[in-house]
Structure 1
């Protein structure tokens, strides 16, 4: 039986085709897979669109080992790419390596879904979960696992966006989010040279901007939420404490509240690194603890409290989280549970709003907008990296201001 390389030589004379790993790893430690085309010692390389760990690459067989989850899809793509190169050389008269490379890059025949699945695997837990969900939705709608990047046109994007709203029941925000996730994958493929910049279908796709739905409590609702009778020591009682603590500490996110420890409390101040940005900027955020937040902590503080103990009984100190993903999964599970109990609290308090834990952040931002009247101070308290983020964040709460102005004028 002839080897693959021998077949390639016979088919294309002086040409040889093989797959190889890039000599340098990427930032995440994976290595890019390239099609190597050699003609009379002149070498050209084409990126396949896939990256794999070095341990999952078989250099002798020139294929991805079965230890890698997507080995089958990638190996299939490798064979397709090599076959395309051989076909171009055989059918194009006088084809050189440059001609072969040009033809291959112009075809955009890379499969979208295997590439998208690999991108999911490179994300952290929460980002990966959201991206995977949106890719599945798109996959189900397309109904063709062999979809190539070239098949994804601007009209198809508009059709999908329209289907999400008219048939799938998504609102404009949700539909926009779905298309944004697909755009992320295609942008990454463009960045890596898998498709040409001018072939990006999103260049001609314009999404109608929708106003974000930022649910927050009014002062009257906040009072009802804070005083509704709840049995002390129960999960619903703890849930209210967590939410109010987040509100009083300038909208701390649930992932941060869950991970706070007594070591984060010192001298009447709360100091911590936001989980959302800790992989980018290792900068501690510190604020004074309002008396209301201190009163909540008094329910949990005891003489036995140790610096390494969690502030709140959300995560167990007895459980070890072996990876960051394990921790994020547990936080996500707890967040979903807490959000369910928040809805029960609102029912008891007769608050007809879809309140989530993140609503504590929105409530603080809205209250700050009306009482502090200092966008810079609000921005710092919300831990926004840029002040224009805060301006965009709070402008969605301006309906009350315009309503009052109109009532003053014509009331």
Structure 2
């Protein structure tokens, strides 16, 4: 064998596998993470399915820095990718960089749970929490951590939907919401080219319509709720105050009630920007404070109250919520606790309903349309962007009204 032929053979068998970050950022500012395969001086790249900020990449060590929340998982994934590429190179005779990539694509580029983890990490706290819950349910059902997108078929979705209802005890509405979260993840994968649009399993999946579960109090139940004897200044007493304040101020959401400060009250009016839409619409909502709501505020207004103090002692005024995620996590925790106390109040009042804080909004909408009889006014009070949203919101309460109308006519 001549020196030249030996040198040539070494070149043919020369493979290197290196992790690298795409120099061009995506629209959200993150950079795609690739495995670069070099063979015979030719370079090919395979997308790992992950994007990270440039500051979280160590260009010297070719690893994800500890500053990135999922750095362990991503670095482990890079090691797995390199190991897979090395195995393919050894097992496939005459393998080139293209051949190695073709063998790898099916296994890693369409890994559902790996992609879902990355997707979840980039979402706002509430979205992240909700999607994570549904992905974990799906993982429990599938029992296959290495599931790829093409393994998820329309029949898979139907059997999973049935499992959610029969095994997990989810309502039809809850099961539908769970599937919609999975559809969001799959939709993003399609946008990023990891799954062909024609292979979307949701194209052939039709959810059964579920009537929204809008629990609210009747006028009689509301009076019973108000009349329950509770120890003053107890947590359960405060809970009722929060709920009634939300009801009297046209169904203010818990996330808003939690964050209201005394500076939001000016000249007998409550003015605030809704947290639910603050990233889209910065419009301030203002409403006159009814005397019933003002009576509740009297319990919390102190001589030394400052404008920046919270209206209610739901969140700690001494704690600095440095990140939005930290704040939302605390709001979620307090919401769960208050919903628990609301159920206790209903039990004491003899109200057989699974009341939640959001029920204050439903109660206002239902009792409001009975007394006001002006959908436009109710729409504005509920802060709906379009009147048809209010109409759809109210139509779920119509059965009782039509039944009463017939009773009045023929009863």
> Considering the TM-score relative to the shorter chain, is it more than 0.5?
yes
**Partner residue of 2:350?**
350
**Partner residue of 1:295?**
295
**Partner residue of 1:188?**
188
Alpha carbons of 1:407 and 1:117: their partners in 2 closer, same or farther (altered >3 Å)?
same
Aligned positions of 1:109-148 closer than 5 A = 109-148=109-148
Alpha carbons of 1:108 and 1:206: their partners in 2 closer, same or farther (altered >3 Å)?
farther
Alpha carbons of 1:309 and 1:70: their partners in 2 closer, same or farther (altered >3 Å)?
closer
Alpha carbons of 1:10 and 1:387: their partners in 2 closer, same or farther (altered >3 Å)?
farther
Aligned positions of 1:30-109 closer than 5 A = 30-35=30-35, 47-65=47-65, 68-75=68-75, 77-78=77-78, 109=109
Separation in 1, partners of 2:255, 2:316: 14
Separation in 1, partners of 2:206, 2:169: 20
Shift of 1:273: 1.0
Alpha carbons of 1:94 and 1:109: their partners in 2 closer, same or farther (altered >3 Å)?
closer
Deviations 1:265-290 (A, max 9, x none): 00111000111111222221111111
Shift of 1:17: 6.8
8 Å CA contact 1:111–1:148 kept in 2: the answer is yes
Alpha carbons of 1:115 and 1:248: their partners in 2 closer, same or farther (altered >3 Å)?
same
Alpha carbons of 1:197 and 1:18: their partners in 2 closer, same or farther (altered >3 Å)?
farther
How many residue pairs end up in the alignment? 401
**Partner residue of 1:284?**
284
Shift of 1:253: 0.6
Q: Which one is further off, 221-230 or 202-211?
A: 221-230
Aligned positions of 1:203-214 closer than 5 A = 203-214=203-214
**Partner residue of 1:259?**
259
8 Å CA contact 2:109–2:194 kept in 1: the answer is no
**Partner residue of 1:23?**
23
Task: Provide the secondary structure at the position in 2 that maps to 1:373.
Answer: coil
Shift of 1:54: 2.0
8 Å CA contact 2:48–2:109 kept in 1: the answer is no
**Which consecutive unaligned segments of at least 5 residues does structure 1 have?**
1-8
Shift of 1:75: 4.3
Separation in 1, partners of 2:74, 2:408: 66
Alpha carbons of 1:144 and 1:178: their partners in 2 closer, same or farther (altered >3 Å)?
same
Separation in 2, partners of 1:385, 1:138: 34
Task: Provide the secondary structure at the position in 2 that maps to 1:146.
Answer: coil
**Partner residue of 2:384?**
384
**Which consecutive unaligned segments of at least 5 residues does structure 2 have?**
1-9
Separation in 1, partners of 2:404, 2:156: 44
Separation in 1, partners of 2:12, 2:157: 40
Task: Provide the secondary structure at the position in 2 that maps to 1:310.
Answer: coil
**Partner residue of 1:341?**
341
Shift of 1:242: 0.7
8 Å CA contact 2:12–2:40 kept in 1: the answer is no
Task: Provide the secondary structure at the position in 2 that maps to 1:335.
Answer: helix
**Partner residue of 1:322?**
322
The normalised TM-score by structure 2 is: 0.86
**Partner residue of 1:366?**
366
Separation in 2, partners of 1:210, 1:324: 33
Alpha carbons of 1:307 and 1:73: their partners in 2 closer, same or farther (altered >3 Å)?
closer
Shift of 1:119: 1.8
